[in-house]
């Protein structure tokens, strides 16, 4: 099941407060990727869609559609402070996937930037 760390829930709450969007939720989208694992998207939305998984974390809500839910199983949303603060998805199922294009001279079609 997809989870949200307390740090991410607090950062999202503060962000929504600062933007005046307290009635919004965060939508997390995952799309199957190539050798580098899923691609993720984070969007603010006011209303959930039919079939969405709704995760309540502190004072915020997270929406995840059914297709994304399967790719986000065991993943978690976290937040990193520092010089470049931001949200990120920690997905243990996506780690270690590789196509070998980093060592190949031909990375056409890989999409992972190696």
pLDDT tens figures, 99-114: 544 443 443 444 544 4
- Please give the pLDDT value at position 36: 72
Extents of the domains making up the chain: 3-90
Domain 3-90 is in which class?
A: mainly beta
Predicted TM-score (pTM) above 0.85: no
What is the Cα–Cα distance from 31 to 16, expressed in whole angstroms? 25
What's the CA gap between 14 and 98, in Å, rounded? 36
User: Over 50: is that where the pLDDT of 23 sits?
Assistant: yes
Q: How many helices (H) and strands (E) does the chain have?
A: 2, 7
39-98 pLDDT per residue, tens: 999 999 999 999 999 999 999 999 999 999 999 999 999 999 989 999 999 998 875 544
Q: How far apart are CA 81 and CA 9, in angstroms?
A: 13
């Amino acid at each position: 099941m997809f989870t949200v760390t307390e740090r991410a829930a607090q950062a999202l709450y503060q962000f929504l407060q600062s933007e005046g969007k307290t009635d919004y939720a965060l939508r997390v989208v995952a799309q199957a990727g190539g050798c580098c694992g899923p691609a993720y998207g984070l969007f603010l939305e006011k209303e959930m869609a039919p079939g969405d998984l709704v995760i309540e974390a502190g004072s915020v809500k997270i929406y995840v559609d059914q297709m994304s839910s399967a790719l986000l199983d065991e993943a978690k949303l976290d937040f990193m402070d520092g010089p470049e603060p931001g949200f990120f998805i920690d997905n243990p199922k996506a780690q270690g996937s590789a196509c070998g294009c980093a060592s190949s001279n031909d990375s056409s079609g890989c999409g992972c930037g190696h």
